[in-house]
Amino acid sequence: MLTSYRTKTRTAAFAALVAACMAAGAQAPTTLKDAYRGLFHIGAAINDAQSTGIDTRGDAILAAQFDSISPENALKWERIHPQPGTYAFDIPDQYVAFGEKHHMFIVGHCLVWHSQTPVWVFRDDKGDFVDRETLLMRMHDHISTLVGRYKGRIQSWDVVNEALNEDGTLRASPWLKIIGEDYIAKAFEYAHEADPNAQLNYNDYSLETEAKRKGALALIAKLKAQGVPVTTVGLQGHDSLAWPSLEDEDATISAFSKLGVKVAITELDINVLPNTMHQQTAEVSLKVQQDTKLNPYADGLPQSVQQELAQRYAGLFKVFLNHRDVVTRVTFWGVTDADSWLNNWPVRGRTSYPLLFDRNGQPKPAFQAVNQAAADIKSMK
């Protein structure tokens, strides 16, 4: 029953798009994973409703279009390890099973982060900070339990997430304050020990801005020089129509590849809504008050912006494709626009349009633009 419903949904969505393209005289679309086969993985972050089979429409799109998945929230410390010694594996197990069923490249996100980590991790019974050895033990327990459980099944882990400030210095998180700078190296060593074959990523946002990129390059160079098993840098890619420039994207990928690491685009979305901040950031703790002026497309996206979004995606994918020797995957942060975190960040309740599939699960012009970028590269071979 479920299979036939999924197949029908997929077929209807594609029939509509094919008809629209034919009418416009364009080339018929292929699926994303077909278009990018042999180039790099093409992934999406999936939410709990998709991991558990409740969102059948989202699951149909995932199965048809993507060959990689990342867990949007289910593997974060506060969700999977909420209390000492208590692990919640139900949804993560379903997440991994979904990926295996569809023969996907499965990502684990994320092992060590300042955010979404329960207070108990850093504190003792009296509420004081624990000492370095205790925190290292807790980190080891967490990493070896998660990476060990999914050894050989989760192929890539975001080991350390967002350790840098916007100016490129190390963020003063409890990890840094209690353990010291080598908490990053330790996290990678523990992950490598638990699964020596897994790809191990340092993941961060806004690495295309000069100061933060410099800090990240210095960090990765130092880790590599120390023999720390970091294999990949994740450029999150929470982008906008104006940022980053294609030149900066290109220079950033080149700079990391020169350090001998691969590059993954791990959380791609393109925000078309007004920027409410003075800097380019994806810091989850930021909040901006609601204001209708900040939500200009509540009734739909104008065609002109829809086209601008498609062109922007085409430009970025050309850069990724030019670096296909080092880019291992490009993962979108969500399946449809309705799923995106950008509907609620930094302003709650906005109507956002950052992805390739609209609120009805229909492919947008940006979908066609991304597929075309791959077709163009393949036709040049």
Binding site for ligand G3I (CB under 6 A): 72-73, 76, 116, 161, 236, 267, 282, 284, 341
Backbone angles phi, psi at 364, to 5 degrees: -95, 170
Q: Which helix (H) or strand (E) holds 371?
A: helix 365-380
Q: If you search the block for the tokens 């955010």, which residue do you land on?
A: 115
Instruction: Please give the single-letter amino acid code of residue 61.
Output: I
Residue 341: CB minimum distance to ligand G3I, A? 3
Task: Determine if residue 85 is left, alpha or beta; phi over 0 gives left, psi from -120 to 50 gives alpha, anything else beta.
Answer: left
Residue 89: CB minimum distance to ligand G3I, A? 17
Closest alpha carbon to 273 in 309, 249, 247, 246: 309
Residue 268: CB minimum distance to ligand G3I, A? 11
Q: Which helix (H) or strand (E) holds 1?
A: none
Residue 72: CB minimum distance to ligand G3I, A? 5
Residue with the CB atom nearest ligand G3I in the bound state: 341
- Report, as residue numbers or ranges, the catalytic residues: 162, 267
Residue 147 is encoded by which pair of tokens?
A: 């990476």
Closest alpha carbon to 232 in 192, 282, 269: 192
Query: CB-wise, 117 or 368, nearer to ligand G3I?
Result: 117
Query: CB-wise, 233 or 314, nearer to ligand G3I?
Result: 233
Rounded alpha-carbon distances, angstroms, from residue 202 to 133, 157, 188, 190: 23, 9, 9, 14
Closest alpha carbon to 72 in 371, 355, 287: 355
Instruction: Please give the single-letter amino acid code of residue 184.
Output: I
Query: CB-wise, 97 or 284, nearer to ligand G3I?
Result: 284
CB 32 within 8 A of CB 65: yes
Query: CB-wise, 57 or 76, nearer to ligand G3I?
Result: 76
Query: CB-wise, 173 or 372, nearer to ligand G3I?
Result: 173
Q: Which helix (H) or strand (E) holds 227?
A: none
